[in-house]
Amino acid sequence: MLLGNPPPQLQVWRKLNAAPTDITDPEATRVYQGNGAAAQDPITNLLPTTTGTPRVYHYALFFCDAGGTTCSATGLSASISITVSQALLGGGYTIYFRHAETVDQARTMDVCADNTGLGLASVVAGGANDNWWKSCTPDVEVTPNWDCTGATARQLSQKGIDDALLIGTNMRARNIPVGAVLSSEYCRGLRTAERMALGPTPQTRPELTFFVYANVRNRCVDHTNVLNTEPVAGTNTVVVAHSAIASDSTFNPPVPAPDCSAQEGSARGNAVIYKPRANTTPLEIQRGITPAQWATLD
């Protein structure tokens, strides 16, 4: 029996911010090869356009011989650009929040304070002050005339509670999928994560915790590893921790931390969106997202 010639091949190539020249274009990525009638490119392969960083993806269809080595000039072309909110709907991002507000608006001061003089985790382990940084006093959060009796760490203020609730309401309204919620061990971090109510039960992590593990953990490396951990497919990971990553800790021995200073100065309750990248610095997509801005995020 004689067989016919193998069918011709179609190839679809994608290039960022310019059209692919041909199948040898070193800056283009092949997203399909075969003779089917349709092809898909998952949204997780694309990054969103943000202020100052346009990302327009150009697709080109090439008609090739059966071996896929000789191809015609581009036959069909198309382009697409996605927004940050569209990207989050596809999952694959780490959303990093600084814990919500701790300043009481009426008294213009923090609700309690971190008693760092009680010592590091390695010093107080098993003693009377063990886990002092986890001190949680829910009554302090909602009492107008709060006092810090028994509180050994800073707490959320009423504004902090309200902002955390607002973040959760706005994110749920946008149907942003969340596969995991990770938090600092400090009460203000955990309470923020809990009040967001994004679905998964918040998990506290030592590598996200301010000060107390400074001498026994390299928080710069650990923190970066958290940001770079790939979320569960189709979801995003939410992280709630602190603004400072490097300067709030005494590393022993000292380590340079250029990648860990990204959160410096981040306002309470604000978020930064990262795209995890293995073995390198996570890619910052957008920063400074306030609790209210989640309602209108492009």
Same structural domain for residues 55 and 95? no
Domain endpoint, select from 42, 62, 82: 82
Calpha distance 284→262 (Å, rounded)? 9
Tokens representing 270 are: 């604000």
Whether residue 235 lies inside any domain: the answer is yes
Least confident of 95-99, 220-224, 227-231: 220-224
Domain endpoint, select from 55, 82, 109: 82
Same structural domain for residues 94 and 237? yes
Same structural domain for residues 107 and 199? yes
Calpha distance 82→68 (Å, rounded)? 30
Same structural domain for residues 171 and 290? yes
The structural domain count of the chain equals 2
Which pLDDT score is estimated for 253? 42
Where residue 126 sits, what CATH number does that domain have?
Answer: 3.40.50.1240
Which pLDDT score is estimated for 203? 98
3-state secondary structure of 11: strand
pLDDT tens digit string along 85-98? Answer: 999 999 999 999 99
Calpha distance 110→154 (Å, rounded)? 7
Whether residue 280 lies inside any domain: the answer is yes
Question: Which domain covers residue 212, as residue numbers?
Answer: 90-295
pLDDT tens digit string along 164-176? Answer: 999 999 999 999 9
Count of CB atoms within 10 A of residue 64's CB?
17
Which pLDDT score is estimated for 72? 84
pLDDT tens digit string along 269-294? Answer: 999 999 999 888 889 999 899 999 99
User: Contact at 8 Å (CB) between 141 and 156?
Assistant: yes
Same structural domain for residues 222 and 246? yes
User: Contact at 8 Å (CB) between 209 and 267?
Assistant: no
Which pLDDT score is estimated for 265? 58
Give the long-range contacts of residues 199-205, CB within 8 A, separation 24 or more.
202/240
Calpha distance 174→200 (Å, rounded)? 17
**Per DSSP, what are the bridge partners of residue 239?**
96, 182
Q: In this structure, what is the dihedral angle of CA atoms 34, 36, 41, 42, given to the nearest 10 degrees?
A: -120
Same structural domain for residues 47 and 121? no
Same structural domain for residues 159 and 211? yes
Same structural domain for residues 113 and 21? no
Same structural domain for residues 217 and 101? yes
Domain endpoint, select from 82, 100, 131: 82
Count of CB atoms within 10 A of residue 227's CB?
23
